[in-house]
Chain A
């Protein structure tokens, strides 16, 4: 009956679409199975199978999740946002952009350059600070990142800032020593103030390894939100579907360019449309 309305080529097209968006094999197969069941039960035409797919994808990314950022002062102290992720995903840039957003909301912001490792990382963050008009607390190159983070938070408390944004060095999640170091950065900050938000920055071009990144970073520092960067490119960022499905950590922000204003709240419907190749008009 209705099963015949949608031929195998159409199913394959749908599967291919999801796979090429980096949704991953298992989530794709699950989705297609659910779609097939719905088509069988509801008896829809191939025109509306796109609509059902869209609906299922939106359900998967779950518009009901709380995607707000915890950036209000807490217990008489600044909110502290720790920004983490593997190398080159866009952490420092995201810190700069986020500072811009917070400044526009009349918040007083302090940046902490806890990447003391990469060449010119602190300079890069300081440039962002100048760009958006907020101070950056730095330490000498090669110094202990936890103590720089501590200093930044101390400065934030002293200046009665609203938010301290702490940038950290890129680290691959399979490097236990570096992951321990990150845990220490967080613990040391928490001697003075609560880390209200831990943002994991994922690059939209990342494939299946993104799930492993999310697992390990969550284990190490209890990630509270994902920032999906470089969505202005051709990659769809489908790996976050698997990340949310397995870990329940919501995508909160998306990066859409290299400029200070290229940060936006995550919009589940728009994300799904882009993933399906529907261009926004």
Chain B
């Protein structure tokens, strides 16, 4: 059993006679191993296919045929390609010209939005901002309380005019939240929204309505690192339904390989901006493409 891609490729090349150009058979065997490694890391199939084709192309080239150790050389190519896709457009948060800057969170149920809201608030606060949280998930039982408690923990104001649990209009709350921030001189507003499925047209429309009500400077798509092949469907559905500017990967403190990061970056071209790696408000970091590449390849 070979678990890492380098081991797999080393085994594939064990029988390679001498140095020099890789045969087509070697390249095919290599491609198969890369394919398996990526699929086992939950990279989505269409992305795997595209990726493997690109690596195959490079494997035919000089850099591999001239290499002393083709397996290592190919691992390096794979790693480089991963980092390129994952880090293609790394950038910082975009702030509004006139405050407040509005950040809106969106994603599937249970992805980690409400937890992230407090993490982001704390991170911004530590940088000298004065953020405010807006409780616009009026659906999930006690989402409002959850945000209030989280806000309290990080010492950030939570705007929660409606009790939730089915009571109140999330679009109105989001709109009022921005007005409240302007009035009380909070320079960043973070709008927490209910979890929703990509296939739920009505809920997706609600997200679009919230967006239109608050004109966010950044919409962040929050996604669980454990997600499998469905990542592409969901990422596309949110892109079409509400749109987003960046991606946040959560639960990276687990042992999932997190291939979804590559799938989403590759399919949508949107940068992964932040990483959430625990349940505490401080378990939060900007995204590191190189670390993610290593993680996907299990290196």
Contact = CB atoms under 8 A, between A and B. Distances in A.
Given A22-B229, A118-B279, A205-B108, A234 B237 contact: yes
B254 A205 contact: no
A120 interface: yes
A124 B256 CA distance: 27
Contacts of A120: 142-143, 145-146, 148-149
A127 B110 contact: no
Contacts of A235: 228-230, 233-234
Nearest to A207: B228
Contacts of B139: 258
A208 B110 contact: no
Interface in B104-156: 108-112, 114, 139-143, 145-146, 148-150, 153
Given A118-B279, A174-B254, A174-B255, A205 B228 contact: yes
Interface stretch (B36-44, B78-86, B204-212): B36-44
A89 interface: yes
Contacts of B237: 234
Contact of A88 (B112, B198, B229): B112
A47 B275 CA distance: 46
A11 interface: no
Interface residues of B, number: 47
B279 A117 contact: yes
A233 B197 CA distance: 6
B109 A230 contact: yes
Nearest to A175: B253
B230 A19 contact: no
B75 interface: no
A120 B255 CA distance: 26
Interface in A202-245: 203-210, 212, 230, 232-236, 238-239
Contacts of B199: 232-234
B255 A212 contact: yes
B270 interface: no
* Contact-residue size bin, chain A (C-beta under 8 Å from the other chain): 35 or more
Given A22-B228, A25-B39, A207 B140 contact: no
A209 B230 contact: no
B197 to A, nearest CB: 4
A16 interface: yes
Interface in B211-270: 224, 226-231, 233-234, 237, 251, 253-257, 259-260
A87 B197 contact: no
Given A123-B142, A127-B141, A208-B40, A87 B251 contact: yes
The 7 closest A-B pairs by CB, nearest first: A207-B228, A88-B110, A207-B42, A235-B230, A119-B149, A209-B256, A120-B145
Interface of A: 16, 19-22, 24-25, 86-90, 92, 96, 117-120, 123-124, 127-128, 131, 172-175, 203-210, 212, 230, 232-236, 238-239, 258
Interface of B: 36, 39-42, 44-45, 108-112, 114, 139-143, 145-146, 148-150, 153, 165, 197-199, 224, 226-231, 233-234, 237, 251, 253-257, 259-260, 279
